[in-house]
Chain A
């Protein structure tokens, strides 16, 4: 309870400091036009729509397949430090930043998009698969003849045990991949985000609405079309589709130049040594890192509390005993929509309406993450309700008296678990023009000052490692049941 109060109080203190202005925007007329457009989805641009959707799926499928294969290969060796360090490094950079970097390195094309998702996912898959290997029932392993080699041991007595959870997690990652695939469209790759952006620029809200509806349906039905047996087919189709994307040619040796020159801090490149490096770092810290950091942290803290509030009030919506059958259906629908739309895309929508400030970012993060936690809690609540006594209350009294007390620990654990995720997403939203760290990374990259962006990426990695450490510490001190990545997967 103390921790909750602390977090809420901190957010309330930060509220007046945060830039939440609507920047002289009068959002109402625009909102009216948008809503009118959304109410009348326009499926006329079928071809563009199908193309953008199929490429969105193709990027996600190819990247998840590649990342899963690499992670699968690394997982058995995850306890060795070089593998672990590589995976942490891969994971610590967000998909979108990978995309921005890769576009610089290998040009805007299918490989950049696929790798942008596959590289961080390889690190995540390696970690989760390694956890699943570790948690596998040890008894079949112990019953093996003692001289059995390690590979046979793994293939016979471990892999069959964890195949189902592995497949489950991979499917969940595909869902994440679909969201990330949309978002890389906003920085120029030919996925749904790109199409959505151009529809918005033209004010064609009907077409934008159509594209959003198709996308939500696609995500909601993922379990129907993504079957293990069909996976090779989807993968082959994805590769064919991606191979047909035209990419502008890149100069020879662009990758090497990026690694050997562009990424080296400018003063070192110019041979000024440490004497040049310190003023360079100080200048960047004062003008970009500190302001970016400040805004990132403010937005993160407020968004975290908003996430908590939405999850706390929202999880009851999906429990039939609280809201009734119709209410439950509506609750599910609302949460599915908010969960499927990536926070970046939500922020983009809010930004159109509210203008650039921290407000769109906070709203988007709160709604999306709140919906995810509400969904997970709702599932646990649904598992609790049948075992309650026959004379248990119903409706919102059930929520308040039976569910909240039982699930509050879980609720806190999930919020703290997503704290770091919220931080990373907040940083990324800078690319939309909101003054978080991503804004400065994006502008440094646009000016081809790769060295500066690398420093800021390191800052974000350190910051998220710090938040992660605090979050773990808090969860341990409050003796909360640990949340694993796989917990969120079993949707």
Chain B
């Protein structure tokens, strides 16, 4: 078991967004959260992330807003995924000079994402889709077994999205991802959780969730 919520009320500050949430995340599961915006997907991801962090799990995170530093180069933004592996002195040195070995490792992450040409561009000079792929590159560079991602392919085209999702399922054994593309969700997930109006509407293995169930989430 990786994480568990038992009748939890989740929200920001005093406002409750999700009520009566019970779920358990097992090792090896790829969970996709579906539901209209405002349903509470981000809140649920944040709660699971906090729990994993509290247990010292190594989690790769792709927040919805990416959390990139616009003024810094793409390459260094990717390096930031491993800041906690090193002390301040080494990180400071790498801010000034990134050694060859690391540059190659980062380049290996950038290539399948189609970012190789932009390694040294500042993030603020990139397009929306490129920024999103930079955030994904950071998560891939961080590595580990666990991925939490909030709409990680919302700004890339359908072809690329499918490739990226395949890449993610190859690299991370366990994942919880919020998506809005139902077809993509079906091809990626082992389990799908449907959310609407602050409640879990269904939670089942991906092949047992019907199209009608999903349609009711958005209807």
Give chain A's interface residues, CB within 8 Å of chain B.
139-153, 155-157, 160-161, 163-164
A140:B71 contact, CB within 8 angstroms: no
Check if B95 sits within 8 Å of A155, measured CB to CB: yes
Interface size on B, residues (CB 8 A): 25
Contacts A150-B88, A151-B88, A152-B86 aside, 8 further interface pairs with beta carbons under 8 A come to A139-B65, A139-B66, A143-B66, A145-B82, A147-B84, A152-B87, A157-B80, A163-B71
Report the minimum CB–CB distance from B2 to chain A (whole Å): 16
Check B83–A148 contact: CB distance below 8 A: yes
Interchain Cβ contacts under 8 Å between A and B, 30 examples: A139-B65, A139-B66, A140-B69, A142-B67, A143-B61, A143-B63, A143-B66, A143-B67, A145-B81, A145-B83, A145-B84, A146-B53, A148-B83, A148-B84, A149-B83, A149-B84, A149-B91, A151-B92, A152-B83, A152-B88, A152-B91, A152-B92, A155-B91, A155-B95, A156-B72, A156-B80, A160-B72, A161-B70, A161-B71, A164-B71
Contacts of A140 in B (CB 8 A): 67-69
Q: Is B142 an interface residue when CB atoms closer than 8 A count as contact?
A: yes
Q: Does B76 contact A (CB under 8 A)?
A: yes
Q: Are the C-beta atoms of B84 and A156 separated by less than 8 Å?
A: no
User: In the complex, how many angstroms separate the beta carbon of B9 from the nearest chain A beta carbon?
Assistant: 22
Q: What residue in chain B is nearest A154 (Cβ atoms)?
A: B88
Contacts of B72 in A (CB 8 A): 156, 160
Q: Which residue of B lies closest to A158 (CB)?
A: B69
Contact B87 A149 (CB under 8 A): yes
B98 to chain A, nearest CB (A): 12
Residue of B nearest to A151 (CB): B88
Q: Which 10 A-B pairs have the closest CB atoms?
A: A143-B67, A147-B84, A151-B88, A152-B91, A145-B84, A148-B83, A160-B71, A148-B84, A139-B67, A160-B72
Q: For the complex, what is the distance from the CA of A112 to the CA of B17, rounded to whole Å?
A: 61
Interface centre among A143, A151, A153, A157 (most CB of B within 10 A): A143
Residues of A within 8 A of B53 (CB): 146
Choose among B63, B81, B84 the residue with the greatest number of A CB atoms under 10 Å from its CB.
B84
Which residues of the other chain, B, contact A142 by a CB distance below 8 angstroms?
A: 63, 67
Which residues of A sit under 8 angstroms from B68, Cβ to Cβ? 140, 143
In the complex, what residue of chain A is closest to B54 when comparing beta carbons?
Answer: A146
Q: How far is the CB of B138 from chain A (nearest CB, A)?
A: 8
Residue pairs across A and B with CB atoms within 8 Å: the count is: 67
**Closest B-chain residue to A139, C-beta based?**
B67
Contacts of B71 in A (CB 8 A): 160-161, 163-164
Task: Judge whether B83 and A156 touch: CB under 8 Å.
Answer: yes
Per the bound structure, the CA–CA distance linking A164 and B71 in Å amounts to 9
User: Which B85-123 residues have C-beta < 8 A from chain A?
Assistant: 86-88, 91-92, 95
How long is the Cα–Cα vector from A156 to B76 in the complex, in angstroms?
Answer: 9
Instruction: Determine the residue in chain A with the shortest Cβ distance to B56.
Output: A147
Give A146 to B65 CA distance when docked, in angstroms.
Answer: 17
A358 to B94, CA, bound (A): 59
A139 to B62, alpha carbons, bound, how many Å?
Answer: 12
Least Cβ–Cβ distance between B40 and chain A, in angstroms: 19
Across the two chains, which residue of chain A brings its CB closest to B61? A143
A144 to B138, CA, bound (A): 10
Residues of A within 8 A of B61 (CB): 143
User: Once the chains are docked, how many angstroms separate the CA of A153 from the CA of B91?
Assistant: 10
Which residue from chain B places its CB closest to the CB of A152 in the assembled complex? B91
Q: Compute how far the CA of A134 lies from the CA of B72 in the bound complex, rounded to whole angstroms.
A: 19
With a cutoff of 8 Å between Cβ atoms, the chain B residues found around residue A160 in the complex are: 69, 71-72
Q: Measured between C-beta atoms, what is the minimum distance from B82 to chain A in Å?
A: 7
Nearest chain A CB to B132 CB, angstrom units:
13
Give complex CA distance A319, B191 in Å: 63
CA distance A149 to B91 in the complex (A): 10
> With A and B bound together, what is the CA distance between A150 and B67 in angstroms?
17
Which B-chain residue is minimally distant from A138 (CB atoms)?
B67
Q: How many Å lie between the Cα of A97 and that of B89 in the bound state?
A: 40
Residues of B within 8 A of A143 (CB): 61, 63, 66-68, 135
Cβ–Cβ < 8 Å partners of B81 in chain A? 145
Residue of A nearest to B81 (CB): A145
B84 to nearest A CB, angstroms? 3
Assess A145 versus B95: contact at CB under 8 Å? Given A161-B71, A164-B71. Answer: no
| Closest beta carbon of chain B to A112's beta carbon, Å | 35
What's the minimum C-beta distance from A173 to chain B, rounded to whole angstroms?
A: 22
Cβ–Cβ contact A155 & B84, under 8 A:
no
Set A141, A146, A151: member contacting B91, Cβ < 8 A: A151
Q: Which residue of B lies closest to A142 (CB)?
A: B67
Q: Whole-angstrom distance between the alpha carbons of A160 and B142 in the complex?
A: 21
- Cross-chain contact B142 with A145 (CB below 8 angstroms): yes
Q: Which residues of A contact B67 (CB under 8 A)?
A: 139-144
Give the nearest-CB partner of B142 in chain A: A145
Complex-state Cα separation, A335 to B68, whole angstroms:
41
Task: Find chain A residues with CB under 8 A from B91 CB.
Answer: 149, 151-152, 155-156
Q: Given the complex of chains A and B, what is the CA–CA distance between A142 and B142 in angstroms?
A: 15
In the complex, the answer to whether A144 meets B92 with C-beta atoms within 8 Å is no
- Chain A residue nearest in CB terms to B71: A160
| Contact of A144 with B80 at beta-carbon distance under 8 Å, contacts A157-B69, A163-B71 already known | yes
Per the bound structure, the CA–CA distance linking A149 and B80 in Å amounts to 12
Which residues of B are found within 8 Å of A149, using beta-carbon distances? 83-84, 87-88, 91
Q: In the assembly, what is the distance between CA of A157 and CA of B61, in Å?
A: 15
Closest to A147 in B: B84
Bound Cα distance from A164 to B68, whole angstroms:
17
Contact (Cβ within 8 A) A146 B84: yes
Q: State the CA gap A205–B135 with chains docked (Å).
A: 65
